[in-house]
Amino acid sequence: MQFFEYGEKEIEYLKKKDKKLGAAIEQIGMIQREVTPDTFQALISSIVGQQISSKAADTVWKRLVELVGSITPESISGADISDIQACGMSQRKAGYIKGAAEAAVNGIIDFGTLHTLSDQEIITKLSALHGVGEWTAEMLLIFSLNRPDVVSYKDLAIRRGMMNLYRLKELPKEKFERYKKRYSPYGSVASLYLWALSVM
């Protein structure tokens, strides 16, 4: 099992830049969040998990693995869409999964070289796929590609964490962007703590 990598350097930087976040980091301690280094697998997993509970997503995922063996562009592309749907998802979602696999097989997206692109190039490429929005692409940047500086405005829990941290009643985008800039270049580490703060 691999986890998002960060350490003292990132923590010290964030503490220096933001006293409130620093105090929260002290209180919470180190956070371990699992990463999935295979970006194609991570993408399919996130499509499976859209709008369903994590328990339901686990069940569907297990059935999908039983159906195709290992989750690769070739194995998904070779499976019948009705069999994918029968794993416990809507026809639309099965279509998204099949579409992502076909984009990989046809070379529209080369998952093997994604890591060589900038964050924005990856977001643009992935969100061109049906069923993959900017938020999904940003989560892959953190939890598959280990990118260090991602704070997603589209993530409700991150916004809630920020509002809890700074005791804000509302959070306009320009204010969000100011905080985001403050955390840079270690925004992803700040995100881990903002998620934790969203439920406090």
Q: Is the peptide bond before 185 cis (omega within 30 degrees of 0)?
A: yes
Query: Which member of 38, 58, 119, 155 is catalytic?
Result: 155
Distance of alpha carbon 191 from alpha carbon 25, whole angstroms:
11
Written as six digits, the tokens of 13 are 């930087």
From first CA to last CA, the distance across the chain in angstroms is 27
Tell me, yes or no, if 58 is annotated catalytic: no
Of 156, 167, 168, nearest in space to 195 by CA:
156
- Distance from chain centroid for Cα 140: 4
Residue 176 Cα distances to 34, 74, 162, 173, angstroms: 26, 41, 8, 5
Distance of alpha carbon 80 from alpha carbon 66, whole angstroms:
14
Beta bridge partners of 34: 3
Q: How many residues does the chain have?
A: 200
Distance of alpha carbon 87 from alpha carbon 119, whole angstroms:
32
Residue positions annotated with a catalytic role: 155
